[in-house]
Amino acid sequence: MSHPVIQFEHRPGILDLGWGHPHASLLPVQAWARASARSLRRFGWQSLTYGYATGPAPLLDWLTDHLNRLEDGGTTAEQLFVTGGASHGLALVTQVLTEPGDVVLVDSPTYHLAFPILRDRGVSLSPAPREPSELRTLIRTLRAGGRNVPMLYLVPTFGNPTGTSLPDDRRRALIELARAEDLTIVEDDTYRELVYDPPAPISLWRLACGSPVVRLGSFAKTVAPGLRLGWINAAPPLIGRLARLGYVDSGGGVNHSVAMAMAAFGSSGDYEQHVAAVRDHYRTQRDALAGALGVTAPAGGWFLWLPLPDGVTAGDLLPVAEAKGVSFVPGSRFFVDGDGGADRIRLSFSHLSPGDLQRAAGILREAITAC
């Protein structure tokens, strides 16, 4: 029996709006082949040996310049650690910031696959109230009860699943609260460059000038998820702790050969050209789905967070929709222990063509009417 090659599972007859995957035509196969060849020609054997703990200098230098162009400064090479993607970054940060039994606060709703990553560390998860005063009360109540509360995880820019962004005043209030309460904010900034109605909001990392924020970044959405490449922005002491982890000491820098190829891809100008093209394609796909559903299009990211009519739940709708030929992710998946979101569904516009997205929207509307 042969094993599958990729994660995506195609179901014949289903237009699946559940997968947050890139459109296959937007993966830069030829450009990446050229970048890999350039890296090997320039650096030879150094591209294939053990890498430097925090990441190879060519990538750190290009990435520092790139991030500083995006937000007018805010990052030094000493504040960067190369990872195997944002999920890997979250696992690493959780490993060094928490102990089993701690309470980690998470936004509600938020990226549902962060929950098992966090729980792998043996921590408990608690939904974080949106209002700063309520969040402060929760933190102090938990600590008064003997619980350690070291960190808060959220996706504040073009978030998964909502596609919305945290307003600037809320960002500043959250940073002030984190400083006062000795709380580390882990900012998943995966979707920053997928902005269709610019500008993107300023990151928590840039607003705070670093601490108490740790930022996770990734090339999964801008280039390709198969690279398994991303980064962590953090204060140098935390970067040092990451670099001293046992597996890094044993194996050298994370995903070194791909990191070297990414440096070549970025420094050649191919990255900027590719991301601009990707934005144009995803904007068209966004507009196709949002327009067909008659809803407001998100300013960035990959997702629509669709409210359902009164009396219709995502759980009731899903089998009806799939029987008609369309699927989605129920909103409850994005809340800790499924406590919320029964009246919402997440729709991805990233991996289907505009025509398929319009057809899927029509089928979905029929299914909602039938419920």
Task: Give me the count of residues in the chain.
Answer: 371
Please enumerate in sequence order all residues whose Cβ is within 8 A of that of 215, keeping only pairs 6 or more positions apart, or say none: 187, 189, 203, 204, 205, 232, 233, 234
Write down the pTM of the prediction.
0.97
Position 235 confidence tier, pLDDT thresholds 50, 70, 90: very high
Convert the pLDDT of each residue in 151-197 to its tens digit: 999 999 999 999 999 999 999 999 999 999 999 999 999 999 999 99
User: What stretch of H or E contains 356?
Assistant: helix 354-370
- Six-digit token pair at 188? 């998943």
pLDDT at 147 > cutoff 90: yes
DSSP 188-217: E-TTTT-BSSSPPPPPHHHHHTSTTEEEEE
For domain 45-268, give the CATH number: 3.40.640.10
Dihedral sign, CA of 330, 332, 335, 337? negative
DSSP 285-324: HHHHHHHHHT-PPPSBSSEEEEEPPTT--HHHHHHHHHHH
DSSP summary character for residue 224: -
Q: Do 301 and 158 form a contact (C-beta atoms < 8 A)?
A: yes
pLDDT at 7 > cutoff 90: no
Mean pLDDT of the chain: 97
Report the distance separating Cα 318 and Cα 71, nearest Å: 41
Report the distance separating Cα 159 and Cα 131, nearest Å: 18
Report the distance separating Cα 263 and Cα 229, nearest Å: 11
Convert the pLDDT of each residue in 275-310 to its tens digit: 999 999 999 999 999 999 999 999 999 999 999 999
Quote the pLDDT of residue 1: 62
User: What's the mean pLDDT in 325-342?
Assistant: 97
Q: From residue 25, give the alpha-carbon distance in Å to each of 18, 80, 277.
A: 19, 31, 11
Position 359 confidence tier, pLDDT thresholds 50, 70, 90: very high
- Cα 79 to chain centroid distance, Å, stands at 19
CATH class of 15-28+271-370: alpha beta
CB atoms within 10 A of CB 363: 18
Position 214 confidence tier, pLDDT thresholds 50, 70, 90: very high
User: What's the mean pLDDT in 237-242?
Assistant: 97
User: What's the mean pLDDT in 244-261?
Assistant: 94
Residue ranges of domains in the chain = 15-28+271-370, 45-268
**Residue 154, SS3 per DSSP:** strand
Convert the pLDDT of each residue in 104-142 to its tens digit: 999 999 999 999 999 999 999 999 999 999 999 999 999
Closest CA to 20 of 346, 357, 368, 353: 346
Convert the pLDDT of each residue in 46-64 to its tens digit: 999 999 999 999 999 999 9
Report the distance separating Cα 113 and Cα 123, nearest Å: 15
Q: Do domains 15-28+271-370 and 45-268 have the same CATH topology?
A: no
Q: Do 79 and 60 form a contact (C-beta atoms < 8 A)?
A: no
Any idea of the CA torsion for 127, 130, 134, 140, to the nearest 10 degrees? 50
Report the distance separating Cα 345 and Cα 350, nearest Å: 16
- Cα 30 to chain centroid distance, Å, stands at 25
Percent of the chain with pLDDT over 70: 100
